[in-house]
Structure 1
Amino acid sequence: MADKEDQEDELTALASIYDNSVLTLSQDGEEPGGQFVACFPLPHPFYIQIDPHREKQEDEANLNKVTQDLTEVKFLPPVTLNFGLPPDYPSVHPPQFTLSCKWLTRHQLSRLCHKLDELWEENSGCVILFMWTNFLQSEAYDFLDLSSPLDLSNVVCLRRTSKSDNVLAPRTNPSEDTPSSSDPRGIQDIASQQLLLPAIRDFSHQEQLRQFQKSVYSCKVCFMEKLGSLCIQFSQCDHVYCKDCMKDYFVIQIGEGNVAALTCPEDQCQSQAHPAQVKELVSPELFTRYDQLLLKTSLETMTDVVYCPRPVCQFPVIMDRESNMASCPSCHYVFCVLCKLVFHGLSPCKIKSDELKKLREEYQAADEMGKKFLEKKYGKRTIEQALEETWSSEWLEQYAKQCPSCGTHIQKIDGCNKMTCTKCRCYFCWLCNHTLSRTNPYSHFNMSNNSCFNRLFEGMGPMDGDFFDFEEEEDFLNLI
């Protein structure tokens, strides 16, 4: 009866110390016992190095040649103590127990088992569970001499399936370990080395989320303190804001189409919100709009993706960079990625002058990275064409005029304002661009009701030797 009372008192005390996420006791009607989950407190930052793949070489020396990469984790999977209390505990026998863990080796688990035995021997006849749980939770990390980076490349030892086979498999038989390093109560709770890294990452993420949800944070927008379960945390910067403030912020930005602006509100912080966080806070309709805008923004940054130029289609298409051709899988329209017209093979593109001008302005305003991006997107040949043709068109617009008959560009170097087209021999006025009479082209400048009256020599400047003055010009016009 004394042992039973001691057991009940001990289990009641443990239940008052640890919550049900750490300690789980047997239900009524079952043998007294339970399960204790001990997570080792890790220094920050803490790294592990692990390689889940081993080379399948016949030479034993090559089995240890592994590449090791560092991975930062904040939590490691726990060491689980499963215990049962015999009827004569604590007066005669210690609790029966097993220790299980995913990332400790069998040798390390055996050391922990032996240490629990030593603690019982030192305190025989007394309740021991609190001393065990306290040791596992607070002292086991130092007892095992763990440190960062922690090498977990050889947690699951490998053996050959046969002497003639190079296939490797986990060593599941405890007898394959040396007697000093193997205790049957130490259970390695992982099926293979390949599963170890995903298991550690998943647990670390879940434990971070659990710790976040039960902690209290101050929102930097409304300055109210709330539980982490009512907040979101930007993963890249760890800044925390309440969900109510972020919901209003996300709704406004998505409504205005600024999906790239869903960043941390902290000044000069560019951490982006995760799509899962956005989905949690906004309505399904708004998230669909966000998802579509995000996809469009991502496609626009890809140098090998263009949109089908047909207004009724606009489907994203992967282009062939060598030929500048793209074939829309939706409407089957085959087009040139440069001019967006039907694919014309090796023939030069017919790009509109206003589009070339816009491309030139965009290219000239871009920085070095922007220029490289445009050159990749449109090709250097198109960029050079845009620069040359727009400069040519601007020069012609400023210094030349088109013949009203055939459209040929004519530059006036000197002489009067009666021009003769070098191509079609048409006479036209340089000032108003009207066609002049073939028989008497100068009569245009002698008509008083004409805006070009007496302006035949306008713009010529001083004549050599002052051959003409204003009065002589009037006499000449009167003659014609």
Structure 2
Amino acid sequence: MKKQFPLEQTEELDAVVSCFGEEFVSVDWSGDELKGVISVVLEPRLQPVVISATDGKDYRQFETKQLSPVDLHFRLPVVYPAEQAMIDVDCMWMPTSMRNTMVKRLGDVVHENVGSAVLFLCCEDVKKFVDGTEITELRLEGNHFARKNKMRPMEVLDVVRRECEKAELLEFEGHCHDCDVCFENKLGRECVRFSPCGHTFCRECVTAYFNERLTAQEISPLTCLSDGCESSVPQKLIIELLGQEEFDRYERILLSRVLDTMDDLAVCPRITCQKPAARSQAWVPLPLQILLIHSHELSCINRSF
């Protein structure tokens, strides 16, 4: 059961949750003071940002136009807004110097608006500051997030990449896109965007295309629908659109076509196996004299003689 807090505070938090969504606002109602975190979602960048990390001789990077949200931490004194709120910022990709500047800006916003609700103002200032800052490259070694969580650079890079991809997907699903096949405008959650080409089609058209390819037993792997584009299709997406049974059939067709083009491979003759196998050059080339690739299937050979 929630404790009783000043009506002005609870109404402000209810408005924040209503505006940003429950998934982006976390409030701790258990203490004497209200505190929580607001994940401030950012606008896509106009130009890609290169995010990198170096750990010894190891160097990795990736590019993104969608930076992950900035976490705005707040604590509201009992007499807030008569007394100013405590504000802090946490962001996994943000350089320490940039974070320090943002914290100072937010401190000024809070100080200048004592007596008024400031959470919306702080969120808007975070967006304004990040949008107005030129960011072309971000190096993650030793930033505030890494030091606070005692993480190595490559660990931070993996987390940042994962969160940026989540933010990119969220942004894509929340907007409408034109399908280049049926020319209908649909929400992103009803569409598929191929990578790395970025071509977008509605899920209905992609599913129909994949089914048509399987019905015709096409030799080549499934790719983007755009003419001449060879962007591959993730296994997860094929299963999601066609189902596991159809995906298994697709893999069998693909494997069969590949084996037909390779003289040094054959299929195990046992009906219960049917795994791809390499013909042994040392043996007489009889159909049953096959050396299987998978060691756990060697019993097939023993039972064949």
TM-score range, shorter chain: 0.7 to 0.9
Partner of 1:118: 108
Q: Does residue 193 of the first structure (1) align with residue 184 of the second (2)?
A: no
Asked which structure has the greater RCO (Cα within 8 Å, sep 6+), the reply is 2
In structure 2, relative to structure 1, the CA distance for the partners of 1:257 and 1:110 (3 Å cut) is same
State how 1:457-476 maps to structure 2 within 5 Å: none
Instruction: Please tell me whether the aligned partners of residues 221 and 254 of structure 2 are also in contact (alpha carbons under 8 angstroms).
Output: no
| Gap regions ≥5 residues in structure 2 | 282-289
Instruction: Please tell me whether the aligned partners of residues 40 and 138 of structure 1 are also in contact (alpha carbons under 8 angstroms).
Output: no
Question: 1:23 is matched by which residue type in structure 2?
Answer: V
Partner of 1:202: 162
Structure 1 SS opposite 2:22: coil
Q: Does residue 292 of the first structure (1) align with residue 256 of the second (2)?
A: no
State how 1:13-412 maps to structure 2 within 5 Å: 13-26=15-28, 31-41=33-43, 42-51=45-54, 53-54=55-56, 68-91=59-82, 93-140=83-130, 142=132, 146-155=134-143, 188-189=148-149, 191-258=151-218, 260=220, 262-296=222-256, 306-308=264-266, 312=270, 315-317=276-278, 327-329=291-293, 330=298, 331-332=300-301
Q: TM-score, length-normalised on structure 1?
A: 0.51
Question: 1:251 is matched by which residue type in structure 2?
Answer: N
In structure 2, relative to structure 1, the CA distance for the partners of 1:327 and 1:209 (3 Å cut) is same
Tell me the CA shift for residue 46 of structure 1: 1.7
Instruction: Please tell me whether the aligned partners of residues 47 and 72 of structure 1 are also in contact (alpha carbons under 8 angstroms).
Output: yes
Tell me the CA shift for residue 223 of structure 1: 2.9
In structure 2, relative to structure 1, the CA distance for the partners of 1:299 and 1:203 (3 Å cut) is farther
Tell me the CA shift for residue 10 of structure 1: 3.4
In structure 2, relative to structure 1, the CA distance for the partners of 1:198 and 1:319 (3 Å cut) is farther
Deviates more, 1:117-126 or 1:202-211: 117-126
Structure 1 SS opposite 2:214: helix
| Gap regions ≥5 residues in structure 1 | 56-66, 158-169, 173-187, 321-325, 334-480
Q: What is the alpha-carbon distance in structure 2 between the residues aligned to residue 202 and residue 309 of structure 1?
A: 40
Instruction: Please tell me whether the aligned partners of residues 62 and 161 of structure 2 are also in contact (alpha carbons under 8 angstroms).
Output: no
Deviations 1:310-339 (A, max 9, x none): 75567332878xxxxx84354559xxxxxx
In structure 2, relative to structure 1, the CA distance for the partners of 1:8 and 1:311 (3 Å cut) is closer
Deviations 1:280-336 (A, max 9, x none): 1214322111122334556678x8x9314775567332878xxxxx84354559xxx
In structure 2, relative to structure 1, the CA distance for the partners of 1:153 and 1:26 (3 Å cut) is closer
Q: What is the alpha-carbon distance in structure 2 between the residues aligned to residue 39 and residue 18 of structure 1?
A: 9
Deviations 1:410-430 (A, max 9, x none): xxxxxxxxxxxxxxxxxxxxx
Q: What is the alpha-carbon distance in structure 2 between the residues aligned to residue 152 and residue 23 of structure 1?
A: 26
In structure 2, relative to structure 1, the CA distance for the partners of 1:191 and 1:50 (3 Å cut) is closer
Partner of 1:393: none
Q: What is the alpha-carbon distance in structure 2 between the residues aligned to residue 71 and residue 112 of structure 1?
A: 25
Instruction: Please tell me whether the aligned partners of residues 101 and 189 of structure 1 are also in contact (alpha carbons under 8 angstroms).
Output: no
In structure 2, relative to structure 1, the CA distance for the partners of 1:314 and 1:39 (3 Å cut) is closer
Tell me the CA shift for residue 279 of structure 1: 0.8
Instruction: Please tell me whether the aligned partners of residues 140 and 153 of structure 2 are also in contact (alpha carbons under 8 angstroms).
Output: no
Instruction: Please tell me whether the aligned partners of residues 222 and 245 of structure 1 are also in contact (alpha carbons under 8 angstroms).
Output: yes
Deviations 1:202-229 (A, max 9, x none): 1122222222222222333333332222
In structure 2, relative to structure 1, the CA distance for the partners of 1:36 and 1:259 (3 Å cut) is farther
In structure 2, relative to structure 1, the CA distance for the partners of 1:262 and 1:194 (3 Å cut) is closer
Q: TM-score, length-normalised on structure 2?
A: 0.75
Question: 1:48 is matched by which residue type in structure 2?
Answer: I
Report the identity percentage.
25
The number of residue pairs the alignment matches comes to 284
Deviations 1:24-67 (A, max 9, x none): 4456997434321124443322212222x226xxxxxxxxxxx6
Structure 1 SS opposite 2:177: strand
